[in-house]
């Protein structure tokens, strides 16, 4: 069931959303979703309650003091240029965003939210060329020209749309930015934690303008490095997304009417940074394949058309080139690796939300939303946030989406906060990484897994694997009738002991858990079924639970009681379901009818 949760009114134009793992001294790590506007960063409160989302208090932002003022101080941050395109980067454990014409990071230093320029100059644009890019507000070597749509591959690289609008550039972060790297407390800065200066509480409007003519960083200081990807899309790029943990990691790029996919990792450029993101020396260039000169061109990847067609607009669902888009205005990934797409109808001045599966299948989730909505972002409660730039509004829509996995990051001082469930979830997300020794096949999807974990956690799979039902030669076990999205949630539960089950998948998860002899997960999924019941779904859920019997029989009384209480709503919206009820189980229909009459009469004296 779809719900419009309402809208959040902002004082300035929203330019992106991001969820981070906020780590501060003395505090447990906590998830925090931020709205970035042109001039501020505002937390979203109440996301965990699923029904009471509201704006929090804008962050008090600081910036490391200029080198000549004192390297251990923080000054108030004055957003003299626009903020936009935030992205969480697992490699460094912080948020990156565009500040004017520079790339900056947002991190926490002694409980202060600090923004530091990592590459480029906020105030000046540069003709972008491959090479090192230093950081500086008053001077820099190299830089950017209107970068946007920043995404992270989680391996030390950011990708962004360059000024050409049909080309993508890659920014290699310096090795010192890696979470837990020796001597690194903030990308591009010293390990010492700055403390707020005496002027930290001063009015930002009274702070002096940045000095001019300062020297760029010393050559020995690690720098970011930018390179142009060796391909060009046919028309203007309207969105980017990166899935670094899919079975086949990839970069997605959209034009107005088409979506392309590019496998990761991409080849390094011919002139890579002097030190690669992983810290390996490259001697100023990237060596070619064995037996070839260093500057021999690499074999490069080319984008694959995943769905839609160039210059052919429409709103048709379908697969591959049979699908049609009107005007794509942004991409986001959900927790099962599907793209959530904002699609704008220019004629009707409305927007739609489309879902694009890895196999190229497109399905419309919601249409008719007023205005040109863009920058979709899946919240941790399964709702979708969409930006309306002109009206300075964030619209929240409940689509029961599966959110992305919890971000991982770096605690203060470089210590990474870890849990068993978190580590096991990360192990699952990293697949395939060479450690898996078995492949489970569910529907049309393949899941690299670890045999020992499944044997320890699931009696059904243990018996299958030990009795020879698996294909030992191929190291595969097939579950042909299993819903792949439901199985992905079951697999997460087996690895971590928990799974965030969306209402739309709860029946499939409950059935699969019962089949795999996982009564605890089956019970959890049934609870989600009951919590998400609606007038449109209750009749089919009653038929479903009655047909399964066994452990699902306990769910029937609660579903029947919900039907009796809401029978008028059901009669208004569920004609087809009531006809199915009359055809499939006349006895059950009579039982429900009698229960409704009894409820109207009230208790007998």
Q: Give the β-pairing of 239-243 and 250-254.
A: antiparallel
Q: How confident is the model at residue 212 (pLDDT cuts 50, 70, 90)?
A: very low
Residue 425: phi and psi, rounded to 5, are: -65, -40
The string of pLDDT tens digits covering residues 84-122 is 999 999 888 889 999 999 899 998 877 889 998 888 888
Q: How confident is the model at residue 29 (pLDDT cuts 50, 70, 90)?
A: low
CB-based contacts of 317, cutoff 8 Å, min separation 6: 323, 354, 362, 363, 364
Question: 337: left (phi > 0), else alpha (psi -120 to 50), else beta?
Answer: left
CB-based contacts of 547, cutoff 8 Å, min separation 6: none
Query: The dihedral of CA 31, 36, 39, 42: what is its sign?
Result: negative
CB 100 within 8 A of CB 123: yes
Q: 80, 75, 83, 76: which is closest to 40 by C-alpha? A: 83
Q: Return the SS3 of 583.
A: helix
Q: How confident is the model at residue 344 (pLDDT cuts 50, 70, 90)?
A: very high
pLDDT mean over 173-188: 60
pLDDT mean over 153-166: 88
**What letters, b where the CB count within 10 A reaches 16 and e where it falls short, cover 416-425?**
eeeeeebebb
What token pair was written down for 262? 């590019």
CB 37 within 8 A of CB 424: no
Q: 484, 473, 402: which is closest to 440 by C-alpha? A: 484
HEC secondary structure over 191-211: CCCCEECCCCCCCHHHCCCCC
pLDDT at 68 over 80: no
Query: The dihedral of CA 478, 483, 484, 489: what is its sign?
Result: negative
pLDDT at 16 over 90: yes
pLDDT at 209 over 50: no
pLDDT mean over 154-177: 87
Q: How confident is the model at residue 159 (pLDDT cuts 50, 70, 90)?
A: very high
CB-based contacts of 386, cutoff 8 Å, min separation 6: 342, 351, 353, 369, 373, 374, 375, 376, 377, 394, 395, 397
pLDDT at 64 over 50: yes
Whole-number Å distance between alpha carbons of 343 and 331: 9
CB 23 within 8 A of CB 5: no
Q: Which of 234-238, 507-511, 531-535 has the lowest mean pLDDT?
A: 531-535
- Burial of 134 from C-beta contacts in 10 A (0-12 / 13-18 / 19+): buried
pLDDT mean over 511-539: 89
Q: Give the β-pairing of 83-89 and 73-76.
A: unpaired
HEC secondary structure over 384-418: EEEEECCCCEEEEEECCCCCCCCCCCCCHHHCCCC
Whole-number Å distance between alpha carbons of 487 and 529: 17
pLDDT computed for residue 267 by the predictor: 63
pLDDT at 497 over 50: yes
Q: How confident is the model at residue 253 (pLDDT cuts 50, 70, 90)?
A: very high
pLDDT mean over 519-547: 88
Kindly list the structural domains of the chain, giving each domain's residue range(s) and its CATH number in brackets, ordered by start: 3-199+220-287+296-398 (2.120.10.30)
- Burial of 406 from C-beta contacts in 10 A (0-12 / 13-18 / 19+): middle
Helix (H) or strand (E) holding 424: helix 420-429
Whole-number Å distance between alpha carbons of 529 and 559: 9
Quote the percentage of the chain above a pLDDT of 70. Answer: 77
pTM of structure? 0.61
Indicate the Cα dihedral angle 225, 269, 128, 236, nearest 10°. -120
What are the strands, taking DSSP E only, across 140-264?
Answer: 148-152, 157-161, 168-172, 195-196, 224-228, 239-243, 250-254, 258-263
pLDDT computed for residue 362 by the predictor: 93
- Tell me how crowded residue 210 is: count the other CB atoms within 10 A of its CB: 16
Quote the percentage of the chain above a pLDDT of 90. Answer: 37
Whole-number Å distance between alpha carbons of 405 and 426: 9
Position of tokens 């940045």?
210
Edge-to-edge strands, sheet with 94-99: 83-89, 94-99, 102-109, 112-119, 61-64, 73-76, 195-196
Q: Give the β-pairing of 14-22 and 438-442.
A: unpaired
Q: At what angle do helices 420-429 and 484-496 cross, to 10 degrees?
A: 140
- DSSP assignment string, 464-498: HHHTT-SBTTTTEEEETTS-HHHHHHHHHHHHHS-
Residue 416: phi and psi, rounded to 5, are: -90, 125
CB 403 within 8 A of CB 384: no
**What letters, b where the CB count within 10 A reaches 16 and e where it falls short, cover 458-474?**
beebeebbeeeebeeee
Residue 591: phi and psi, rounded to 5, are: -60, -45
pLDDT computed for residue 293 by the predictor: 33
HEC secondary structure over 14-72: EEEEEEEEECCCCCCCEEEEEEEECCCEEEEECHHHCCCCEECCCCCEEEECCCCCCCC
pLDDT computed for residue 215 by the predictor: 34
pLDDT computed for residue 88 by the predictor: 93
The residues that bridge with 73 in the sheet, in sequence order, are: 195
CB 446 within 8 A of CB 440: yes
Edge-to-edge strands, sheet with 54-55: 14-22, 30-37, 41-45, 54-55
- Burial of 413 from C-beta contacts in 10 A (0-12 / 13-18 / 19+): exposed
pLDDT at 283 over 70: no
Edge-to-edge strands, sheet with 3-9: 3-9, 393-398, 383-388, 374-378
């Amino acid at each position: 069931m779809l719900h419009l949760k309402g809208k959040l009114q902002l004082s300035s134009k929203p330019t992106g959303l991001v969820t981070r793992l906020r780590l501060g001294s003395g505090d447990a790590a906590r998830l925090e979703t931020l709205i970035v506007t042109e001039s501020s960063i505002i937390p979203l409160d109440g996301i965990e309650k699923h029904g009471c989302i509201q704006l929090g208090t804008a962050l008090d932002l600081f910036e490391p003091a200029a080198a000549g003022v004192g390297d251990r101080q923080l000054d108030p941050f004055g957003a003299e240029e626009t903020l936009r395109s935030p992205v969480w980067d697992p490699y460094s454990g912080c948020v990156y965003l565009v500040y004017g014409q520079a790339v900056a990071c947002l991190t926490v230093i002694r409980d202060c939210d600090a923004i530091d320029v990592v590459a480029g100059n906020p105030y000046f644009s540069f003709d972008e060329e491959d090479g090192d890019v230093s950081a500086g507000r008053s001077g820099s070597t190299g830089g950017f020209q209107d970068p946007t749509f920043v995404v992270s591959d989680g391996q030390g690289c950011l990708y962004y749309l360059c000024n050409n609008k049909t080309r993508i550039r890659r920014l290699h972060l310096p090795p010192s930015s890696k979470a837990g790297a020796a001597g690194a407390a903030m990308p591009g800065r010293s390990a010492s934690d700055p403390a707020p200066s005496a002027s930290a509480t001063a009015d930002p409007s009274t702070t002096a303008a940045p000095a001019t003519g300062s020297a760029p960083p010393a050559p020995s200081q690690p720098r970011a490095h930018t390179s142009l990807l060796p391909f060009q899309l046919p028309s203007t790029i309207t969105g980017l997304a990166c899935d670094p943990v899919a079975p086949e990691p990839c970069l997605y790029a959209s034009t107005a009417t088409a979506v392309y996919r590019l496998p990761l990792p991409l080849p390094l450029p011919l002139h890579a940074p002097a030190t690669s993101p992983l810290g390996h020396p490259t001697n100023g260039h990237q060596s070619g394949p064995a037996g070839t000169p260093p500057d021999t061109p690499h074999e490069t990847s080319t984008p694959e058309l995943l769905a839609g067609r160039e210059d052919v607009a429409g709103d048709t669902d379908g697969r591959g080139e049979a699908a049609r888009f009107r005007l794509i205005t942004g991409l986001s990934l959900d927790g099962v690796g599907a793209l959530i797409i904002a699609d704008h109808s220019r004629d009707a001045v409305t927007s739609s939300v489309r879902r694009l599966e890895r196999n190229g299948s497109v399905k419309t989730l919601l249409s008719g939303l007023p205005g040109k909505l863009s920058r979709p972002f899946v919240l941790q409660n399964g709702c979708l946030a969409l930006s309306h730039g002109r009206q300075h509004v964030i619209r929240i829509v409940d689509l029961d989406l599966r959110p992305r996995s919890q971000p991982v990051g770096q605690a203060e001082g470089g210590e990474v906060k870890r849990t068993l469930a978190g580590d096991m979830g990360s192990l699952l997300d990293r697949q395939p990484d060479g450690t898996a020794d078995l492949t489970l096949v569910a529907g049309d999807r393949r899941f690299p897994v670890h045999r020992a974990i499944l044997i320890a956690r699931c009696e059904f799979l243990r018996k299958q694997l030990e009795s020879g039902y698996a294909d030992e030669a191929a190291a595969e076990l097939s579950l042909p009738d299993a819903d792949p999205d439901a199985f992905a949630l079951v697999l997460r539960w087996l690895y971590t002991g928990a799974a965030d089950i969306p209402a739309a998948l709860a029946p499939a998860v409950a059935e699969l858990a019962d089949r795999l002899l996982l009564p605890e997960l089956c019970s959890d999924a049934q609870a989600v079924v009951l919590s998400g019941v609606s007038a449109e779904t209750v009749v089919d859920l009653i038929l479903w639970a009655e047909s399964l019997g066994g452990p699902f029989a306990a769910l029937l009384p609660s579903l029947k009681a919900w039907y009796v209480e809401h029978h008028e709503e059901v009669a208004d919206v569920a004609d087809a379901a009531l006809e199915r009820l009359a055809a499939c189980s006349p006895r059950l229909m009579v039982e429900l009818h009698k229960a409704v009459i009894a409820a109207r009469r009230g208790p007998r004296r």
